Chain A
Amino acid sequence: MFPRTHAQRGLALFLLLALIYVLRVALTFTIERDMGPARPLLATLVVAGTAGLSAALFGGLYALIVRRAAARPLWLALGLTPLLIPPFLSVVAWRATLGPGGHLPRLLGWEAGGPSILMQSWIYSAPSAGFILGASWSPLVFLAVSALLLRLPAGQLEAARLARGVWGERRVLWRALLPGVLLGAGGVVALSAIEFAGPILLRVPVQAEQVSLAFDAERDSAGALQRAVPLVLLAVAALALPLLSWVPPLPGARTRPSPTKGSWFAALGCALLLLPGTWLPILDLGIRLTRRSGVAATLESSWAVGAGDAGNSLWVGLWTATLAVGLGLLIAWPLRRASRPWVALVFGLGAVLVAIPPALWGIGLLKLLNRPGLDPLLDSLACVSLADLLRFGPLAVGLLCLAIRSAPLAREEAARLAGRSPWPLTLRHLAPAILTAWALVYLLSVTEFGASALLAPPGKALLAVFVVNEAHYGQGADLAGLTSLLLVTALVPPLLAGSLAAYSWRTRGAQA
């Protein structure tokens, strides 16, 4: 874990200075409105820290036990579901299940005081917000740890077992997986630090909300920028954290999942770990849909209210994802043979773009586009798409860059030597990354709240903003239907694209 190269030592110094700065601001920040005892930046630190820890716990454990679970392919696929459900929907379900008058207190008869009061104070707290956000984003840790587990040579663990027994093996395993845990948890900390749709639903005042409020209420863009700086530093530091523990992998025969019959206990463990991020939102949605005037009537009324917004969200998602993939290919392609410092520079810039709070993107674009000649952009959904492109485009660039750089040069050369174009081979290699990047950017754009809330032009509302506002301020009458509509809008295109890609992949494979 200790930095051992000059680059890592420099990074450690940066992380330390960033942390000192963030803590100093957190402890001296002036509270400008009554938000309870927690200061916004301190609350952000608690939310982000708890989210990172719970994501590490949920995602790390899931990655470890899913390898031993019965029906492993099913649980591998289900392990990604928390990531498909927007975190604010998990927060809504969390609140509706455990909050006052929620499903569980009603079921247990706690409606009149008792433990429900204690539960209420905890549910509406920063650690609670962090917990549910961490559970929602835990697949990031699951994916990172699983990738490392796949690459881990089996002999490294066996050598440790021979030398120091089971505990020695666990020490080596833990150290081998640490970069994955830090990468995933660091990503979750960064996302949680700049997220405010979830925390505001639990009445937790976070710094990202302050950024938005500074502009929304006071038109103070300088103040918004000033409040965003510690968030950017915190998020960049969190994203950079795994680099401290990174060591180049050594070649070796990979660890394979045990060929023995999968355990149902492990499958049960997987199911339990999916409780907050998957089962609760689904259960809450089911209860809401069936509780009122019936599923069909609820969906029908929600369609009448939200169809236009769904169309807008679909438009934004499709444009953003397509542009992000196109631009991503344009940026990533020249990097395919670039030296490491160039790639590190592009990834570093990407990390900074991802770390900028969404409200700041909104404010920046409002300032930039609010001038003659550009204002038509402000009156259209193009400005929302642009904000999403700037926020999530770096993810597409990163994914495509990794895929392009991993394409074996020898394959291209073999095709050229045979007098064939290397493009079919390259595209075939890149297809999964292109589709994944498209689906990811689409999903994130459709469920984006922070920048969209500021940028959506009058008369062109977006579904995610509608849902968060309905959950925050509304009576919740249309929440179930709108949530269903949002999930359908957000999930159907990526799932369709994925299925088509899988089909075309198989067909091409058969022809080959």
Chain B
Amino acid sequence: MSAIVAKGLEFRHGETRALQGLDLELAPGARLAVLGPSGAGKTTLLRLLAGLEAPSAGRLELGGALASEGGSLHLPPEERRVGFVFQDLALWPHLDVLGTLRFVAGGDANQREELARKLAEQVGLGKRHDAFPGELSGGEQQRLALARALASEPRLLLLDEPFAHLDTSLRDDLQSQLLELCASRPELTLISVTHQVEAALALGQELLLLEGGRVLEQGPAPELVARPRRAGAVELLGLGKVLPYAEGKCALGPVELAKESPEDASAVLIRPEQVELDPEGIQAKVCGQRLLPNARWRVELALGEHRLSAELPQAPGGQEVGLRLAGPCWGLRAT
């Protein structure tokens, strides 16, 4: 039985269509990352799944039971067994760590106490039982929000930009902790919403790319990264730049299309690592450059009206550089 089945899910907010025609099916234990720019409908999708909003149209089933249909909620939020980590965390300022977890946990008083202590320990708050949210650091607050979402023993865990405001090391730390917690709950389906590609790739086995309330692309993460179908997906995932393609050529000269590229490709994906310096190649103007953590240089280039990115072992010396392409490129259909 699928954990989630959504068909034609739509949400209108006044005249604005926050989400339209979304189809989604996830098996129990799946991990989906929803990626999209601001206003793409990511948070709306989570709120529809949690039952905090009723869809304007479409049908949603959770664990085989009808949860929402049309404009009505068939399953209220508290009966959906959903854990939600809000973007602003929404912790309760008057409850300490254990109080928060006890409030959410089910069972009798002893069971609640036991579960609360266990979860606090699991997320690394074992020594901060009596601390109130206002007394916790940013990372500890995130941990408490995560523990609270897990305290109701949900079958669906929804994360709304959970690590957006954290520094990189803390974010990586929390991501691995989250994945560990999910691994110990094999039936738990995880949906995380983010606008950071790294976070999406770290948390999602599958990706759902949204733009303007519509699904841009959807599929297993490695598949989408290796073989995106639309230019919008390339931009969203930050895979590289798209150049028009016709008759075996692009602005960089002749191009060999990668195997399995669509036959009717009208554009090619130029990944930064495919661009190499060649004094005798096509001349491009250097627009900007920055050092990457792997000690290579990301160089932004202008090629006539087109833009390119290149990842080079060293920064180019002059204002102009010669370029060539290394290896076959992935072809894309027109969007």
A contacts, CB < 8 Å to B = 4, 153-156, 158-166, 168, 172, 175-176, 245, 247-253, 259
Contact = CB atoms under 8 A, between A and B. Distances in A.
Given A176-B94, A248-B93, A253 B78 contact: no
A178 to B, nearest CB: 8
A247 B103 contact: no
Given A159-B92, A245-B94, 9 more contacts: A155-B87, A158-B50, A158-B77, A162-B83, A163-B104, A163-B152, A247-B94, A248-B93, A253-B88
Interface in B64-123: 76-80, 82-84, 86-94, 103-104
A69 to B, nearest CB: 21
Contacts of B50: 158, 162
Given A164-B104, A176-B94, A252 B89 contact: yes
Contacts of B90: 153-156, 158-159, 252
Contacts of A165: 76-79
Nearest to A178: B94
A245 B94 CA distance: 9
B151 interface: yes
Contact of A163 (B87, B91, B151): B151
A57 B89 CA distance: 31
24 contacts: A4-B132, A153-B90, A155-B90, A156-B92, A158-B52, A159-B86, A160-B92, A161-B77, A161-B78, A162-B83, A162-B152, A163-B104, A163-B148, A163-B151, A163-B152, A166-B78, A176-B93, A245-B94, A247-B94, A248-B134, A249-B93, A250-B134, A252-B90, A253-B87
A141 B192 CA distance: 41
A161 to B, nearest CB: 5
A276 B52 CA distance: 38
Contacts of A156: 90-92
A64 B14 CA distance: 25
Interface in B26-59: 50, 52
Contacts of A168: 78, 103
Nearest to A167: B78
Listed from nearest, the 8 A-B pairs whose CB atoms lie closest are A155-B90, A165-B78, A252-B88, A155-B86, A163-B104, A247-B93, A248-B134, A156-B90
B17 to A, nearest CB: 16
Nearest to A169: B78
B54 to A, nearest CB: 12
Contacts of B79: 165
Contacts of B83: 162
A459 to B, nearest CB: 57
Interface centre among A163, A166, A249 (most CB of B within 10 A): A163
B88 A162 contact: no
A270 to B, nearest CB: 26
Contacts of A164: 78, 103-104
Contacts of B151: 163
A259 B53 CA distance: 13
